[in-house]
Structure 1
């Protein structure tokens, strides 16, 4: 009998973000997926034009209650992503508490989607709700900005990064923290394990991923990196979190000697996410020039279709990458390296 995943996140009719970026990969990995949509939009916000509705707290609770009454809420894994308001997020929090009570072994990957690049794009009153949810999670997958927001710690040096990771583990009792797509700031590049630093070289044209596990005594940190890919792509974090959920504590996951279950799952998620991105970028480069014009805010404002054509050509090539996701096509692994002196 296959495991069941309950996915609670956004939905778009066109393209691949939120649940559209998560559900198909999880199905490729053999999971049955039950999806509850927190928004129903025509397309992602990067197009600048969209239509649709948000699911309010009462509607979410009605769905949860009906599924419970019909004995349909029995997931072994839970994935939550974009939830735009505090009331709706509180309804999800209450349901997560119930699910954990019913199944203490529930594997819960919480992606606290709040913003990026210094900008919050949900209501600010979700922040305290997310802080209440953190102890329920098995793994959290915040981006750099979300780590700063949750811990109220500007990440400007190694001391601040150590403090923020320690806060998430010790104050909020999160056993596993994964931060991906981290720019290699000079202070971060200087502190990397030699194996990663040698791979990156002096160019810094890579993105870093950190995976940290806490067992009530020790914090164990691993790091990996991937080369940057030119262009803007949406849904990458949603895909990564779904793959991480799919591989974490999976019977099919090989854990090398000395590695942690988290680092091994992150290695798989990082490898496959980057391979999908490479395939997407390769496809975008084959499009007519008019569909791959570089970002220019002034020209995009004059001709909205200019931006829309660019976004459309960079939607994740998930269906075309199912052999990568399933593992029937081998791709070069992105290894995670023990960061010996992180803490």
Structure 2
């Protein structure tokens, strides 16, 4: 096994009683891969917001600081890796930023994956005051895993063509000094499909997402002054699934081993980790989708805002059947019976037209 037996992960993100989002989607996969995980819940909710109704509380900044202080006093803050996800407000996020900065100062080699969970499909679902805090946190990160919308929010660049994508990555790498950027999901629009090398481009741009990994050269792997870019496309499953980004980020962190050298000469440690995370996440989604197709008809009804509002349990039944099948797929998480990887492939001429 490639992990260190003593490695601990400090996971700071949301908690739900029912279902698999936030920490519920991230902690179990990390444990399956041999990591001890210390869990701090930024919210305690009954279920995720997609159900339309939920109960519970948000953890305040003071409560987070009390938890961090007690852990420090008891010498329990000993992570080798940090993972942060959904934190709904700026004050609570600032408390997390203070902790990460302190841990990075005490141990500069600590690995930090920052998932800037802010929104999707063009809208924020957190308080807007988190945005400047996230920007201030970016230089602390080893890896960040925004989706396309979160890239736009962080960089203030609308992703509309290859030039804008290049500019956004340049801002993240140069202005914010993030060495490793993985854009977990970008819709494969016509401009992006046509820009892709043939080795990455699917036959049809419809119903696909692209995962893109961009890493700066390291002293061990020198290159040019620009980043090395890898990408891979995956087909979309119909319907809405929650917790996919949380699962992907946890797997990416688990498989990221910067001291190891990939056998594939065109790969690097980031693309190798992304290949593992993408493969396993897609396989879990495949099981989840298959499971949803076997449900009774009243649990497979299509989305309809008007009907869902009139009958809230209509939405509940649909959401309930689409919770990630992590337990059924735990062998996948551990890497059992995975016959081939969805390998991230190098995009050699990504910067050529800059």
TM-score, with structure 1 as normaliser: 0.97
- Residue-pair matches, total: 341
Q: Do the aligned residues in 2 keep the contact of 1:275 with 1:331 (CA within 8 Å)? A: no
Q: 1:96-135 residue pairs with structure 2 within 5 A?
A: 96-135=100-139
Q: Do the aligned residues in 1 keep the contact of 2:189 with 2:205 (CA within 8 Å)? A: no
- Return the offset for 1:115: 0.7
Q: 1:159-170 residue pairs with structure 2 within 5 A?
A: 159-170=163-174
- Return the offset for 1:225: 1.0
2: CA distance between counterparts of 1:65 and 1:331?
45
Q: 1:206-285 residue pairs with structure 2 within 5 A?
A: 206-215=208-217, 217-249=225-257, 254-285=262-293
Structure with more helix by fraction: 1
Q: Do the aligned residues in 1 keep the contact of 2:185 with 2:211 (CA within 8 Å)? A: yes
Give the 3 Å change call, closer, same or farther, for CA 250–164 of structure 1 in structure 2.
Answer: closer
Deviation readout 1:168-215 (Å, 9 max, x if unpaired): 000000000001221111110000011111xx1134321100000013
Residue in structure 1 matched with residue 32 of structure 2 by the alignment: 28
- Return the offset for 1:330: 1.5
Q: 1:87-98 residue pairs with structure 2 within 5 A?
A: 87-98=91-102
Structure 1 residue ranges (4+ consecutive) displaced by more than 3 angstroms after TM superposition: 250-255
2: CA distance between counterparts of 1:106 and 1:205?
38
1: CA distance between counterparts of 2:258 and 2:174?
26
CA RMSD of aligned residues (A): 1.3
1: CA distance between counterparts of 2:263 and 2:131?
34
Residue in structure 2 matched with residue 39 of structure 1 by the alignment: 43
1:307 aligns with 2:315: yes
Q: Do the aligned residues in 1 keep the contact of 2:261 with 2:268 (CA within 8 Å)? A: no
1:12 aligns with 2:16: yes
Structure 2 runs not aligned, ≥5 long: 219-224
TM-score, with structure 2 as normaliser: 0.94
Deviation readout 1:256-281 (Å, 9 max, x if unpaired): 22311000000000000000000000
SS in 2 for 1:223: strand
Q: Do the aligned residues in 1 keep the contact of 2:258 with 2:269 (CA within 8 Å)? A: no
Q: Do the aligned residues in 2 keep the contact of 1:255 with 1:261 (CA within 8 Å)? A: no
- Return the offset for 1:255: 4.7
